[in-house]
Amino acid sequence: MRYLPILMIIVLSSMALPTSKKGCAGKYYISGKAYSAKNSITNEVLEVELGDKKWEVTTDNEGKFEIVIPWISACPSGLSAAELKIENERLNPTLVYISFEKKKISLNNEWKKYGKCFSDSKEEITWKKDLSFN
C-alpha cells in the first residue's frame, strides 16, 4: 500500500512525457527522359508547378531531366489523425504540373512514397519517370 502513491506518480508522469515524433522536410527527385512525338526534347526548358511555386528545369543534350520536389510532413503533436492528414495535404499539393511548349502533364505528388526523413542514397528518393508531351 505504501508504494501506491509512488506508482501513481510514475504512471501519471510517463503519460505526460512528450512524444518523440516530429515533422520533417526534405526533397525527392523525378528524373527521366522527356519526349515529344517520339523524339527526345534536348536542351529545352520544362516548366514545373507545385502549388503556388513555379520553376524551370532544362533537359540535357540527351533529353534527360531531374526535377527536385520539396515536401514537408507536419508535426503530429497535438493533432488527431484526421487533422494530421488535412495539414499534410495542405503542405503538399496533390499534383505536380510539368509543361513544355503549350502541353502540360500532371503527375501525382509522390512525396509519401519518396519523401523520407532519412535516406541512405539518392536512388532511394528518386522516381524514375519518362515524360511524353504528345
Q: What pLDDT digit, counting tens, does each position of 50-107 carry?
A: 999 999 999 999 999 999 999 999 998 889 999 999 999 999 999 999 999 999 999 9
Average pLDDT in the chain: 88
Confidence of residue 12 (pLDDT cuts 50, 70, 90): very low
Question: Cβ atoms within 10 A of the Cβ of 125, count?
Answer: 19
Domains annotated for the chain, with CATH where assigned, are 23-132 (2.60.40.10)
Question: Cβ atoms within 10 A of the Cβ of 115, count?
Answer: 21
Helix, coil or strand: residue 82: helix
The residue behind cell 508504494 is 3
| Cα separation, 74 vs 49, whole angstroms | 21
Q: Would you state the pLDDT for residue 33?
A: 98
Name beta bridge partners: 108: 95
**pLDDT(18) > 60:** no
Question: Contact, 73 vs 88, CB < 8 A?
Answer: yes
Show the cell assigned to 5.
502513491
